[in-house]
A and B are shown apart, each in its own frame.
Chain A
Amino acid sequence: MKKVFSRPRSLKSTPFHYCAGCGHSIIHRVICEVIDELGIRGNTIGVPPAGCAVVAYNYFDVDMLEAPHGRGCAVATGIKRTLPDRVVFSYQGDGDLAAIGTAETFHAANRGENITVLFINNAVYGMTGGQMAPTTLLGQTSTTSPPGRNAILDGHPIRMSEILANLEGTAYIERVAVNSAQNILRAKKAVKKAFQYQIDGAGFNMIEVLSQCPTNWKMNTVDACRWVDEVMSKTFPIGVIKDTGKGRKDAD
């Protein structure tokens, strides 16, 4: 019988600890499939963050160096500059990338560091229990915005992808989602293109992934997936945000 589906070589057999319905495990798998397809497992170094994905090294079967909270892009810069022929990616949540690590992210992008960033946006601080994130939507409740995020008191949700797209150093930025089979396939295509851009030396590239968090959104999985489409993607529209075309043409 022909084998048509199996665990990617780059994904360890450790069962995921993530909550039911969480987007992280899907994104991990997508990245591992891409690493396998590009044949770069032995050549890749990943940088997991503080947050829900802090133990990503239990799942990714590639070399990994944990970054202090928010410092993924600085740590990845150090690795990539030392080993320029390796594929280096940073995996970061919204609090990590867009709050405590804004400076590191912004300046790595501005320097055009030739790294790939997986930016997991679930609009809350997941691991610490659902506090307001820089990406929490207006009106969205969280443990630190109990009446809902109020623009006057709490500021607005930050669109990091659009902000970074304005910097000369960024080569490719796309926002995707993993709430449906169709979106997962699109996400995989984007992730593959991002890694290919890095291999081609195009410069800083980032894939923002809208990732459902049923636990902290206090929804069931079906409703959480629907909320990504019906609410979250209104503030964070899915699609290519910047593509300089600096990567190989067939990267698409």
Chain B
Amino acid sequence: MSDKILIAGNWAIGEAAIRAGCRFYAGYPITPQNELTEYMAENMRRAEGGTFIQAESEIAAVNMVLGASAAGARAMTSSSSPGISLKQEGISALAADELPAVIVNMMRGGPGLGNILPSQGDYFQATRGGGHGDYRTIVLAPASVQELADLTMDAFDLADKYRNPVMILGDGMTGQMMEPVVFGKPRPRRYNEKYVLKGAGEGKSKFIRALILDALRMEEHNWKLVRKYRVVEQNEVRFETYKTGNARLIIIAYGIAARIAKGAINRLRDSGMKVGLIRPITLWPFPAQIIRDTAERIDRFLVFEMSTGQMIDDVKLALEGKGHVSFYGRPGGVVPTPAELAKAIVQEYRR
């Protein structure tokens, strides 16, 4: 019997996290990700050694995760856009302390309180660190519920491997929609005990801190982090290409927008238009090389985002002035149909 189940995105993240060995979750209610917090409330208590805390605030939740991570737990928190803004203090601290953690952002319309509808307006915040100081978080952008489950498991491994916060950047739609999922087999945790605070025993005491008052030492810590980020950039770039082989125009889109783009591309292909897709799966590190390589043979790109245009900056940086880049965006919680996007693509295609 197959263990394929029909499950909503937010639940799939929770289930994948618990299967991956997540044993500490703290969260605060915010739409559209409440199902994840509720799933953890229901199921984390059943996991051996599992802790669920409904925190008093987003800030408290991420700082609880900081403590749990330092104490050796696989730890996660989740929220949606306004809540993620509040968590930035803790994400910056996790990056500075080199502590692993998984942070889920089910993006909604913004800025400010915005609304509770699917959006992609937090790309800049997610891929540029988001909080204060020189740092990066690894950002994974799932486009299906199956991928939410898979990438959640991967997120814990990546967080451990690089001792760095990892963000799962979804949106209100990926979180709410139900799709069939087969949960993968989690890999055994590989995390060096020497990084865990559990009391000094008879030995030397350890401390974890982000305050480094000496400028030269602080600088060295900054460069040390950058050296780590370079390794992440070399090893962890992920993307999908779809019908790019003979394409004359390439759509670049991530997450749920890429699903819409595939629908549009299939329609256009049916009427003979040669359109393909590059879908970044890691938003940081950004798949710049594949875009640059593609530009050797195709010179027209259309970036599609459910925002006013953020990832387009990374696309332009990747292209280094090559090719022609256009943009189609629907911010504010508007989810365009494949037909609407197809129309925008045709205009560009015929130009």
Contact = CB atoms under 8 A, between A and B. Distances in A.
Interface string B76-100: 0000000000000110010001000
B56 to A, nearest CB: 4
Contact of B60 (A63, A74, A87): A74
Contact of A45 (B24, B63, B199): B199
Contacts of A75: 63-64, 66-67, 70
Contacts of B69: 78
A71 B71 contact: no
A76 B199 contact: no
B230 interface: no
A78 B198 contact: no
A184 interface: no
Contacts of B211: 50, 54-55, 66
Interface stretch (B162-170, B200-208, B221-229, B291-299): B200-208
Contacts of B67: 47, 65, 67, 74-80, 82
Interface of B is mostly: mixed
B55 interface: yes
Categorize the interface residue count of chain A: 35 or more
Given A74-B67, A77-B64, A82-B68, A61 B205 contact: yes
A41 B200 CA distance: 7
A42 B199 contact: yes
A83 B60 contact: no
A42 B208 CA distance: 16
Interface string B209-234: 11101000000000000000000000
A83 B72 contact: yes
B207 A63 contact: yes
Contact of B198 (A45, A47, A48, A61): A45
A47 to B, nearest CB: 7
A61 B203 CA distance: 10
A82 B76 CA distance: 13
A127 B63 CA distance: 23
B115 interface: no
B270 to A, nearest CB: 53
Contact of B63 (A41, A64, A78, A82): A78
A111 to B, nearest CB: 8
